[in-house]
Amino acid sequence: MSDLEHLMRVLPMVGAEPAILDDTGIAHVVAQGHHILSRRTVPGLRVELEETPGALIGQIVVEAGVTIVQPIHLCFGLTHPTGVQQIAIDVHVQEGAQARVLSHCLFPVAQAAQHRMQAMMTLGSGASLTYTEGHYHGLHGGMQVLPHATIKIGKGARYFSDFSLLSGSVGNLDIDYLVEVEEEGLAELSAKIFAHKTDRITLKESVILRGERSRSLIKTRVVLEGDASAEITGITEAHAKGARGHVDCMEIVQGRAHASAIPIVKVFHPEAKVTHEAAIGSVDKKELETLMARGLNPEQAVELIVSGILR
């Protein structure tokens, strides 16, 4: 089986279909390690990526005023148990442009491998970007996954990100996002992670609300079982009049797993406001008992509650 076939076979695990490669209306890049296996672009979208021995480097530009109708698919992965994939990519959504990116990270057989993503994203004024990243990992664990990104959101621009790692065991996951939001900009960061075995999760999301009436929401849902552990840090700083931020973090801990949540809230303007809520613990007893009173056994009840939270 070719590397491309290998990656396409597991694509449905993150909710996408291999048929996207044949659709001329859909832009895509598929890369195994530092080799691009398939690519396509559409009008208004520039994809400039370069294969180097140490990394895949380049930029993706959505030109000013352009709306890319279909989501842009980025499939990155490793088809071998070991290896390194390093991606340094800039994403520029120029003024008034709109796009959705679906990033599929596929590591079906990885055991002692590394995936590093160093991204710089800029959204011009009035632009909109939805960035959805879905991970599929096999059951081995043992990987180092390091998605790091700096995101600059221009005046009135809107950025939505949704990270999910819901199947398989990852190993070490270290997410670090820094988001700066200008006047009337909006940032919504959502992350959903299901960690098993000895997975170690570090998630740091920092939002700096620089502009007046800028807004942000950080929503994190982490479920841990086995010996997994997580440290979640959500930082929101509000620097201008009318800036509003909210942090909503929920972690469910089962088995011998352990978790911590560190919400950091800083407000530098009297007319700004940041709120946060964090809940860490086992599955809510009342929710559990309600389901058992409908006939679900404890395992079925926990499964339903957890799947709801990670949806």
Partner 1 sequence: MPIPLLDIQRLTVEVDRHSILDRLDLAVQAGEIHALLGANGSGKTTLAYVLMGCEGYVPSAGRVRLDGTDLLPLKMHERARLGLTLAWQEPARFEGVTVREYLSLGKPGCDPEPALKRVGLDPDRYLTRRMDKALSGGERHRIELASVLSMKPKLAILDEPAAGIDMLSIGHIIDIIRALKEAGGSVLLITHQEDVALIADRASQLCAGRIVFSGSPREAVDHFRGQTCVRCDGEVCGYVRP
Can you give the binding site for partner 1, defined by CB under 8 A? Answer: 250, 284-287, 289-298, 301, 304-305, 307-311
Q: How far is the CB of 108 from partner 1 (least distance, A)?
A: 27
Kindly give, in sequence order, each residue whose CB lies less than 8 Å from that of residue 203, ignoring residues fewer than 6 positions away: 173, 175, 191, 193, 220, 222, 230, 231, 232, 233
CB closer to partner 1 out of 78 and 224? 224
Return the amino acid letter for 143: M
State the pairing for strand pair 186-195/215-224: parallel
Determine the length of the chain: 311
Q: How far is the CB of 49 from partner 1 (least distance, A)?
A: 36
Kindly give, in sequence order, each residue whose CB lies less than 8 Å from that of residue 201, ignoring residues fewer than 6 positions away: 170, 173, 193, 195, 222, 224, 228, 229, 230, 231, 232
Q: How far is the CB of 288 from partner 1 (least distance, A)?
A: 9
CB closer to partner 1 out of 123 and 291? 291
CB closer to partner 1 out of 38 and 297? 297
Q: How far is the CB of 195 from partner 1 (least distance, A)?
A: 18
CB closer to partner 1 out of 60 and 305? 305
Q: How far is the CB of 253 from partner 1 (least distance, A)?
A: 16
CB closer to partner 1 out of 269 and 276? 276
CB closer to partner 1 out of 1 and 294? 294
Q: Which of 74, 77, 51, 47 is nearest to 62 (CA)?
A: 47
Q: How far is the CB of 162 from partner 1 (least distance, A)?
A: 14
CB closer to partner 1 out of 55 and 304? 304
Q: How far is the CB of 290 from partner 1 (least distance, A)?
A: 5
CB closer to partner 1 out of 16 and 291? 291
CB closer to partner 1 out of 22 and 285? 285
